[in-house]
Amino acid sequence: MEMNEVFDKLKSLQDVLVEKYDLEKKIKSSPKQLDSQDELLARLKKEYIEKNKSYEEIKATVEHLKRELSEAEASRESGEKSMDNITSHREYEALDKQISEATEKEASVRKDLQREEKKLAELDESLKADEAMISSQESDLNQSKADLSKQIEDYQAQLENLKVKENEITPELDKEIVYKFQRIIQRNSEGIVAVKNGVCTGCQMILPGQFANEVRDGEKILFCPYCSRILFYQEVSSEETVDFSNLAETGSLADFEDEFADERDEEDDENETENEMEEDSSTSFNDE
């Protein structure tokens, strides 16, 4: 198979792989779309459980107050009935005290009971509202899960079609090249790029002259030494010709060498300054 045909197959494979990896990411991240709904439902249920616990506690308090109120009323009524049968002043005083205490307790308990019954009624309404909210949230979540399941099924169907296309392209390509190509596309979404004017259009780095010539010859598959993408040569028009005297928009190894040279010069200047200061200090000490 000629190299031009190999490059064409790699370009077709690139289109398939980019779409394939994008679908795989979507399938993997899809369940996370429901996380916020799951968290909201869990929070609503937790709050409902806590509120229902308070409701049961207040309900028990109300029942206890009702019994106390009933006992106080019975004690007062008993004392009032017994007033008709008293035979001495002492009996009158005892019954009067019983009636007064029962009446006082009855009023206190009734006040507490009314307060707790109001709380109970408010909690009951709040619980009903929470139940409706939870039911609605569960319904929305179930619908979202159903929609997501259908969406994932569609993704899976598309993925299967892409795998079929991939299997149609790869058999005639070198397995090791395909493996490297797949890894590159997973990182960069672009695994094969053109070389124009000796520059890799993937990373915009100027390629060594001899290496660029080998790419132009197109006799074998070559990888960019900077970004690892597969390279193919592409002719450029006169308008696209690059002025290599101006490297502002491209990079090369020379850029890195100049940068390190500047750093070394700065370090040398700093060392010289430190040495001069040490010599001055030593001279001053000896003079003293």
**What are 142-155's pLDDT values in tens digits?**
999 999 999 999 99
Pairwise pLDDT comparison (282 vs 238), residue with the higher score: 238
Q: Which two tokens stand for residue 16?
A: 């398939």
Give the pLDDT confidence score for residue 7 in this predicted structure: 93
Q: What is the pTM of this model?
A: 0.61
Give the pLDDT confidence score for residue 225 in this predicted structure: 95
CA angle, 162 then 215 then 242, to 5°: 105
Query: Please, which pLDDT band fits residue 85 given cuts at 50, 70 and 90?
Result: confident
Give the pLDDT confidence score for residue 286 in this predicted structure: 42
Please state the rounded mean pLDDT for residues 252-262. 41
- Among 81-85, 203-207, 225-229, the minimum mean pLDDT is found in 81-85
Query: What's the order of all strands across the beta sheet hosting 230-233?
Result: 199-200, 192-196, 230-233, 222-223
Give the pLDDT confidence score for residue 266 in this predicted structure: 53
Contact 197, 236 (CB under 8 A): yes
Please state the rounded mean pLDDT for residues 2-6. 90
- Is the pLDDT at 133 greater than 70? The verdict is yes
The alpha-carbon radius of gyration of the chain (Å, integer) is 44
- Is the pLDDT at 21 greater than 60? The verdict is yes
Please state the rounded mean pLDDT for residues 76-105. 90
- Is the pLDDT at 282 greater than 70? The verdict is no
Return the axis-axis angle of helices 175-188 and 3-29, rounded to nearest 10°: 50
Query: Please, which pLDDT band fits residue 124 given cuts at 50, 70 and 90?
Result: very high
DSSP state at residue 225: T
Please state the rounded mean pLDDT for residues 31-57. 94
- Name the E strands within the chain: 192-196, 199-200, 222-223, 230-233
Query: What does pLDDT average to over the chain?
Result: 85
End-to-end CA distance of the chain: 87
What's the rounded Cα separation, in Å, for the pair 230 and 196? 14
Place of tokens 């779309």: 33
- Name the E strands within 135-206: 192-196, 199-200
Q: Cβ of 77: how many Cβ atoms within 10 Å?
A: 12
What's the rounded Cα separation, in Å, for the pair 43 and 49? 10
Query: Please, which pLDDT band fits residue 284 given cuts at 50, 70 and 90?
Result: very low
Please state the rounded mean pLDDT for residues 27-41. 91
Paired residues of 233 in beta bridges: 195
What's the rounded Cα separation, in Å, for the pair 72 and 78? 10
What's the rounded Cα separation, in Å, for the pair 134 and 144? 15
Query: Please, which pLDDT band fits residue 270 given cuts at 50, 70 and 90?
Result: low
Long-range CB contacts for residues 137-144, cutoff 8 Å, separation at least 24: 137/37, 137/40, 137/41, 137/44, 138/41, 140/37, 141/34, 141/37, 141/38, 141/41, 144/33, 144/34, 144/37
